[in-house]
Amino acid sequence: MRRIVWMGVIAMMAAMAGTAQTGPPGHKLVRTLVITGDDHPAHHWKETTPAIVAALNSGTPRFEIVVSEDPEVLAKKELFSYRLIVLSYCNWNHPGLSDAAKKNFVEFLKKGGGLSILHFSNGAFHFSLPNEGGSDWPEYRKICRRVWDHTPGKSHHDRYGAFHVNIVDRNSSITRDLEGFDTTDELYFNQQGDLPVHVLATARSKDTGKDEPMVFTYSYEKARVFQTLLGHDVAAIRTPGETQLIRNGSLWAAKEGQ
Confidence of residue 4 (pLDDT cuts 50, 70, 90): very low
Model confidence pLDDT, tens digit, residues 162-176: 999 999 999 999 999
Per-residue pLDDT averaged across 25-31, rounded?
A: 83
Element (H, E) at 228: strand 223-228
Question: Among the listed ranges 5-9, 67-71, 182-186, which one has the minimum average pLDDT value?
Answer: 5-9
**What pLDDT is recorded for position 94?**
84
pLDDT at 258 over 60: no
pLDDT at 25 over 90: no
Tell me the C-alpha distance between 105 and 143, whole Å. Answer: 10
Model confidence pLDDT, tens digit, residues 170-209: 999 999 999 999 999 999 999 999 999 999 999 999 999 9
Per-residue pLDDT averaged across 146-160, rounded?
A: 95
Tell me the C-alpha distance between 258 and 205, whole Å. Answer: 30
Per-residue pLDDT averaged across 100-114, rounded?
A: 98
* Whole-number percent of the chain with pLDDT over 70: 89
Per-residue pLDDT averaged across 42-67, rounded?
A: 92
SS3 label, residue 63:
strand
**What pLDDT is recorded for position 22?**
60
Confidence of residue 27 (pLDDT cuts 50, 70, 90): confident
For the chain, domains (ranges, CATH) are 9-253 (3.40.50.880)
DSSP string, 157-205: EPPSEEEEEEE---SSTTTTT---EEEEE--EE--B--S--EEEEEEE-
How does the average pLDDT of the chain come out, rounded?
90
**What pLDDT is recorded for position 81?**
97
pLDDT at 31 over 60: yes
Tell me the C-alpha distance between 128 and 206, whole Å. Answer: 25
Tell me the C-alpha distance between 95 and 228, whole Å. Answer: 24
Question: Among the listed ranges 9-13, 235-239, 244-248, 250-254, which one has the minimum average pLDDT value?
Answer: 9-13
